Amino acid sequence: MFSFSELVAQFETRLGNSQLFHGQPENLYEPCRYLLGLGGKRVRPALCLMGAELFGDLTEDAWQAAIGIELFHNFTLIHDDIMDKAPLRRGQPTIHARNGLTAGILCGDTMGIAAYQQMSRVQHKLHSILDIFNRTAIEVCEGQQMDMDFEQRDDVTEEEYIRMIKLKTSVLVAASLKIGAITGGSTGGNAEKLYQFGKYLGIAFQLQDDYLDAFGDANKLGKQAGGDILADKKTYLQIKAMEHLTPDQKASLQSWHGNQAEGKVEATLELFRLSSCDKQCREAVEHYSGLAFQALEDVACLSKRKQYLHDLAMALLDRQS
Amino acid sequence: MFSFSELVAQFETRLGNSQLFHGQPENLYEPCRYLLGLGGKRVRPALCLMGAELFGDLTEDAWQAAIGIELFHNFTLIHDDIMDKAPLRRGQPTIHARNGLTAGILCGDTMGIAAYQQMSRVQHKLHSILDIFNRTAIEVCEGQQMDMDFEQRDDVTEEEYIRMIKLKTSVLVAASLKIGAITGGSTGGNAEKLYQFGKYLGIAFQLQDDYLDAFGDANKLGKQAGGDILADKKTYLQIKAMEHLTPDQKASLQSWHGNQAEGKVEATLELFRLSSCDKQCREAVEHYSGLAFQALEDVACLSKRKQYLHDLAMALLDRQS
């Protein structure tokens, strides 16, 4: 069995040797190579491989699926960056900013098709695996649409927000684990438990991301805190604050929307603290983390096989114990 | 066996009963239903079904593949319309014009994933069918990129242009027939012959489209002739004219590029006639039509089984005999 960092190292080697995106026309494939080369943590393919290792050896099918999942993730990033008008990804220019809108759309499409091409080469249980992959892919689009819809709304509920981040982020984490487990020979019940683990882990991770973006240590984050506030993003903090502030405080919070005057981050954080949404967000992270670790506990395999997965979840959630 | 119009009628019923795109969020699925509801000739799914009927009865797999192919085609239309800045599709507003850029990208993605979802439900020979489908999907993206690249170039050769229309248009026509044939139980050799038929048919059809857009009867076309000229599109006519005009005539032709002054269509058509590119285009249509019908001839099955396919090709190429 391999640790997260060992799997990522092996994955990078496989990806590098895969000769993906080396055809013509160059204007189509060069941006694809560029984006994949920007790296990323490769959490999803690693989860797929770890899911497989819970139940058996790493097969070619597991590697094939891991590459398919990472390509799919990158496809969503390329198109999401267009929709979010994001100039940077992993500190470098996004494809649409670097090569134009047409390239952004078409390279994204190509990356998505390449994801299916990899996934389709899985030899065993192809129908089951594609069934999960397709449903997940559709759900990710649904989550992205909800996120876009929320930008126009001031009445998003906690339940709606959790559903959105589940679809936009968690289901792909969950499906990575489940698909990996299936390639490893897992029973249906265990694969489903692992799916639940991934789903709750993804929700907890996204909620913590919301928290850290506002209240994290800028040095640890590697970026200025308050990015979501400056971008007027709907986050768990924003939604809970709107639930609990007085009418005057709510009006004050809303007055910062679309307003980039100095002091925006500080004033918003102050209102967040007044509403106790910071505390509620930490509690929600705890809640979903607890559900995640319980689901992992319930997977019927040797406990020591779960260690690396447990370690990775702890690291992702930045927990000491 | 069924004629083209009978198959299209049955296909519309199946598509209508498929309950596709009825989930939430509404902002994602309503534009998908809208676009599919605009119709279109449904040539590709019909070709898939006809390919199956050459060799056997229509199975559920053939219908499943036919729907997958039509959804994939619509996915490419949604994204191509964004890249081409097209306000209309089938006489109605395009999704991006009607619902915005984000909807155009995301509904396209959803349509593409739904195409894979349908295709993945094929029960027999799934690996072979997905292998063709994936390669074709990638090639369609390559063709679209070449088309985009050509907009910036004045030195596109005939060979490059034929390659572009082969990738952008023909390979999906060819793959529709081949995938259908495989669901019908065709041997590899026959399926490949049918692929060649579709490839040449697609090229001939696109070249004729170039010709008719310039020299067709506006009444028959149902639109004003000269649309490609007004849009400064690189077509076979344009490329052959640039090959054969004198330097002065070439300069005159080029001077109309980006110039929307009155008389553009008439002046361009006059230069086209001087260059004989109209005649060369008709000859090229004949050449590729000939290759197509020869390939169909070479498919080893009962001749009378080919009749409907032969009739459809004749109708698409607007030939009397």
Task: Record the tokens describing residue B63, joined without a space.
Answer: 């219908």
Check whether the bond before B25 is cis (ω within 30° of 0): yes
What total of structural domains would you count in chain B?
1
Across B235-241, average pLDDT: 96
Whether B27 and chain A come into contact, CB under 8 Å, resolves to yes
What is the average pLDDT value for chain A, to the nearest integer?
95
pLDDT at B217: 79
User: B20 to chain A: nearest residue by CA?
Assistant: A138
- Could you give the C-alpha distances from B293 to A238, A257, B44, B172, B299, in angstroms and in order? 65, 64, 18, 18, 10
Q: What is the pTM assigned to this prediction?
A: 0.96
Question: What's the CA angle centered on A254, arms A248 and A260, to 5 degrees?
Answer: 130
- Cβ distance A106 to B126 less than 8 Å, yes or no, reads no
Give, in order, the Cα–Cα distances in Å from B198 to each of A38, B173, B186, B201, B316: 40, 5, 16, 5, 12
Q: Is the pLDDT of residue B222 over 70?
A: no
Query: What is the structure's pLDDT at A221?
Result: 62
Distance CA B69, CA B91 (A): 22
User: Which ipTM score applies to this complex?
Assistant: 0.95
Strand pairing category for B92-93 and B88-89:
antiparallel
Nearest-angstrom CA–CA distance, B177 and B170 = 11
Phi and psi at residue B40, in whole multiples of 5°?
110, 170
Mean pLDDT, residues B280-291 taken together: 98
Residues of B with CB below 8 A from A64's CB? none
For B124, nearest residue in chain A (alpha carbons): A127
We report the CATH number of the domain holding residue B255 as: 1.10.600.10
Work out the pLDDT band at B321, boundaries 50, 70, 90. very low
Under a CB-based contact definition with an 8 Å cutoff, are residues A87 and A59 in contact? no
Residues of B in contact with A127 (CB under 8 A): 120, 126
Quick check: B271 contacting A, CB < 8 Å?
no
pLDDT at A321 over 70: no
* Rounded Cα gap, residues B134 and B138, in angstroms: 6
- Chain B residues lying within 8 Å of A126, measured CB to CB: 126-127
* pLDDT 10s digits, B93-141: 999 999 999 999 999 999 999 999 999 999 999 999 999 999 999 999 9
| CB-count exposure of residue A218 (10 Å: 0-12, 13-18, 19+) | exposed
Q: Contact at 8 Å (CB) between B132 and B65? A: no
Structure token pair of residue A235: 């986050």
User: Is B142–A82 a contact, with Cβ atoms under 8 angstroms apart?
Assistant: no
Q: What is the CA radius of gyration of chain A?
A: 20
In whole angstroms, what is the distance from residue B123 CA to residue B119 CA? 9
Percentage of chain B beyond pLDDT 90 is 91
Helices assigned H by DSSP within chain A: 4-17, 26-37, 43-53, 60-83, 95-99, 101-119, 126-151, 158-165, 171-183, 188-215, 218-221, 227-230, 236-244, 247-255, 264-275, 277-297, 307-316
Domain residues for the domain of B254 are: 4-316
Cα separation, B85 vs A288, in Å, equals 44
A124 touches chain B (CB under 8 A): no
Would you call B138 an interface residue with chain A, using a CB distance cutoff of 8 Å?
yes
Is some CB atom of chain B closer than 8 A to the CB atom of A304?
A: no
pLDDT score, position A54: 97
Determine, for residues B101 and A83 on separate chains, whether the beta-carbon distance falls below 8 Å. yes
Q: Is A33 domain-assigned?
A: yes
Helix (H, G, I), strand (E, B) or coil at A88: strand
A22 reaches B (C-beta below 8 A) = no
Which residues, other chains included, contact B61 with Cβ-Cβ below 8 Å and sequence gap of 6+? B122, B123, B124, B183
Q: What pLDDT shows up at residue A277?
A: 97
Confidence at A216, pLDDT banded by 50, 70, 90: confident
Bond prior to A25 in cis (omega within 30° of 0): yes
- Out of B101, B130, B148, the one facing A102 most closely (by C-beta) is B148
For B76, which residue in chain A has the nearest alpha carbon?
Answer: A109
Nearest to B7 by CA among B66, B68, B74, B75: B66
- Residue B205's CB: how many other CB atoms inside 10 A? 22
Residue count (chain B) = 321
B142: chain A residues, CB-CB within 8 Å: 23-25, 28
Taking CA A77 as the corner, what is the angle to CA A72 and CA A80, rounded to the nearest 5 degrees? 125
Q: Does A102 touch chain B (CB under 8 A)?
A: yes
Among residues A318, A317, A315, A308, which one has the least CA distance to residue A289? A317
* Model confidence pLDDT, tens digit, residues A253-273: 999 998 999 999 999 999 999
What is the mean predicted confidence (pLDDT) over B250-273?
A: 94
pLDDT at B221 over 80: no
Query: Which DSSP letter does residue B24 get?
Result: S
**Residue matched to tokens 């899985």:** A122
Q: Which long-range contacts (CB under 8 A, 24 or more apart) does A259-264 make?
A: A260/A230, A264/A226, A264/A229, A264/A230
Distance from the A28 Cα atom to the nearest Cα atom in chain B, whole angstroms? 6
**Of B226, B229, B198, B233, residue with least CA distance to B316:** B198
Q: With CB atoms and an 8 Å threshold, state whether B144 touches A106.
A: yes
pLDDT greater than 80 at residue A52? yes
- Largest Cα separation within chain B, whole Å, is 61
Average confidence (pLDDT) over B162-173: 98
Cα gap B226→B228, rounded to integer Å: 5
* Nearest beta carbon to residue B82 from set A23, A24, A105: A105
- What is the pLDDT at residue B225? 77
Q: Which of A136, A87, A83 is nearest to A105 (CA)?
A: A83
Distance CA A114, CA A101 (A): 20
Check if the beta carbon of residue A6 is closer than 8 Å to that of residue A40. no
pLDDT at residue B320, as a whole number:
56
Q: Which residue has the tokens 């487990």?
A: A181
Whole-number Å distance between alpha carbons of B154 and B162: 16
Angstrom distances, CA of residue A96 to CA of A52, A104, B149, B257: 35, 4, 16, 27
Q: Which helix (H) or strand (E) covers residue B93, if one does?
A: strand B92-93
- Min mean pLDDT across A216-220, A272-276, B169-173 is at A216-220
Specify which residues A93 forms β-bridges with.
Answer: A88
Pull the structure tokens for residue B282.
Answer: 């008709």
When CB atoms are compared, the residue of A79, A126, A127 closest to B105 is A79
pLDDT score, position A318:
82
User: Which of A101, A110, A141 has its CB closest to that of B110?
Assistant: A141
Per-residue pLDDT, B164: 98
Neighbours of B306 (CB within 10 A): 20
Residue B132: closest C-alpha in chain A: A117
A contacts of B102 (beta carbons < 8 Å): 83, 148
What band does A76 get if pLDDT is binned at 50, 70 and 90?
A: very high
> pLDDT at position B171, please?
98
Count interface pairs A-B at CB distance under 8 A.
Answer: 104
pLDDT number for residue A285 = 97
Average pLDDT over residues A230-246: 94
Cβ contact (<8 Å) for B126 and A131? no
Are B102 and A134 an interchain contact pair (Cβ–Cβ within 8 Å)?
no
Is position B305 within any domain? yes
Contact A113 B145 (CB under 8 A): no
Write down the pLDDT at residue B251. 95
Residues on chain B touching A148 (C-beta within 8 angstroms):
27, 102, 106
Q: How many CA atoms lie within 13 A of A11 on its CB side?
A: 31
Report CB contact under 8 Å: A130, B116. Answer: yes
pLDDT of res. A154: 85
Contacts of B82 in chain A (CB under 8 A): 101, 105
Q: B218 — contact with chain A (CB < 8 Å)?
A: no
Do A148 and B114 lie within an 8 Å CB cutoff?
Answer: no
- More confident position, A152 or A77: A77
Q: What is the DSSP letter of A121?
A: T
Helix axes A236-244, A277-297, angle to 10 degrees: 130
In a domain, B321, yes or no: no
Residue A92 has φ and ψ, to the nearest 5°, of -120, 160
For residues A136-158, average pLDDT: 95
Q: Is residue A184 part of a domain?
A: yes
Contact (CB<8Å) A106/B145: yes
Report CB contact under 8 Å: A149, B24: no
- Judged by a CB distance cut-off of 8 A, whether residue A23 touches chain B is yes
- Residue B161 maps to a domain: yes
Residues of A in contact with B24 (CB under 8 A): 142
Contact residues on chain A for B130, CB-CB shorter than 8 A:
116, 120
A81-123 tens-digit pLDDT? 999 999 999 999 999 999 999 999 999 999 999 999 999 999 9
> Averaged over A9-35, what is the pLDDT?
97
Cβ-defined contact of B117 to A134 (cutoff 8 Å): yes
Which residue in chain B is spatially nearest to A79 when comparing CA positions?
A: B105
Distance CA A183, CA B307 (A): 46
**SS3 for B320?**
coil
